[in-house]
Amino acid sequence: VSRAGEFRQLHRPGRPLLLPNAWDLASGALFAAAGFAAIGTTSLGVAAASGKPDGVAATRDETVALAGRLTRLPCLVTVDLEGGFDDEPAAVAELTQSLYLAGVVGVNLEDGRGDGTLAPVARQRAVIAAVKATTPDVFVNARTDTFWLAPRPPGSLDETLRRLSAYAEAGADGVFVPGLADPARIGQLVEAVDRPLNVLINPAGPPLAQLADLGVARVSCGSLLFRAAMTGAMRALDAVAAGGAGPTDLLTYADIQHLAEHAEWDGAGTS
């Protein structure tokens, strides 16, 4: 079985793949060293770390560079391509193939657009079909933003189902509905869609254990870990600024160096 095949097999309804999302090599190495078999990327983290806007196809180069780095880690890597970074299905297919040849096993393709609207279903079908025609082995996770885009009214389950069915028919290997937090709706989607369902962990929504019981096959962390990192840094800084010496219970310099062994880089160093 190929590495993409291994990744496919990790999508088990009821025993979901928990996917940490990395924004740089250090975060990816951290998650790989903790034993996670697969990691994703977070477009917010990638955008913020490099100072580019998120969700408006501005971070193609940064995403490709990050994917290249993450594939050096001893884990499977799936990459968030937002809407594909290009209007042309053929261009998205070419990008995906180049990532796959570099060792990436999966991609996320979303129908939400930078202006807050949803791409036409036909466009998403064409993109997914082009990607799968060019790289049949890659795991395409088709994301619909029916419950996600802020300017839109609360999502409709009918619209969501219509989109997910169309994407599955076009060849999507899995489907992803971020923003969905209602257990009943999650359960309905698991039943209605013939593909592994991916949801985003949400501190205000069902915990991982309940998502498993509902039959979810994959749980992404999205921007959660990036936001936890920023929060951790700010708290430590606040503690020092208040006159203190900083927290004593952090990962050490040696711990970070140890990550080097997993990332195949040599972290010997000095500050």
- The piece of 1-9, 122-130, 163-171, 254-262 that touches a copy of itself (CB under 8 A) is 254-262
DSSP class of residue 118 equals B
Strand order in the sheet with 197-200: 17-19, 218-220, 197-200, 174-176, 139-143, 106-110, 76-80, 38-41, 21-22
Which of 60, 90 has the CB closer to a copy of itself?
Answer: 60
Which of 65, 91 has the CB closer to a copy of itself?
Answer: 65
Q: Is residue 10 part of the contact set for a copy of itself (CB under 8 A)?
A: no
Pairing type for strands 38-41 and 218-220 reads: unpaired
Which of 1, 203 has the CB closer to a copy of itself?
Answer: 203
Q: Is residue 118 part of the contact set for a copy of itself (CB under 8 A)?
A: no
CB 84 within 8 A of CB 92: yes
User: 245 burial class (0-12, 13-18, 19+ CB within 10 angstroms)?
Assistant: exposed
Residues of span 122-151 touching a copy of itself by CB under 8 A: 145, 148-149
Q: Is residue 14 part of the contact set for a copy of itself (CB under 8 A)?
A: no
Count residues binding a copy of itself (CB under 8 A). 90
For residues 137 and 8, what is the distance between their CA atoms, to the nearest angstrom? 10
Q: Is residue 37 part of the contact set for a copy of itself (CB under 8 A)?
A: no
Q: Is residue 31 part of the contact set for a copy of itself (CB under 8 A)?
A: yes
Length of the chain in residues, anyone?
271
Which of 189, 200 has the CB closer to a copy of itself?
Answer: 200
Annotate each residue in 199-238 with x if it binds a copy of itself (CB under 8 A) or - if it does not, as one string: -xxxxxxxxxx---------x-xxxxxxxxxxxxxxxxxx
Annotate each residue in 42-61 with x if it binds a copy of itself (CB under 8 A) or - if it does not, as one string: xxxx-xxxxxxxxxx-----
Write the CB contacts of 26 (distance below 8 Å, at least 6 apart in sequence): 256, 259, 263
Selection from 113, 107, 64, 59 nearest residue 87 by Cα: 113
For residues 32 and 74, what is the distance between their CA atoms, to the nearest angstrom? 7
Q: Among 32, 75, 76, 82, indicate the residue that binds a copy of itself (CB under 8 A).
A: 82
Kindly state the smallest distance separating residue 70's Cβ from a copy of itself, in Å.
9
Q: Is residue 120 part of the contact set for a copy of itself (CB under 8 A)?
A: no
Q: Is residue 77 part of the contact set for a copy of itself (CB under 8 A)?
A: no
For residues 39 and 78, what is the distance between their CA atoms, to the nearest angstrom? 6
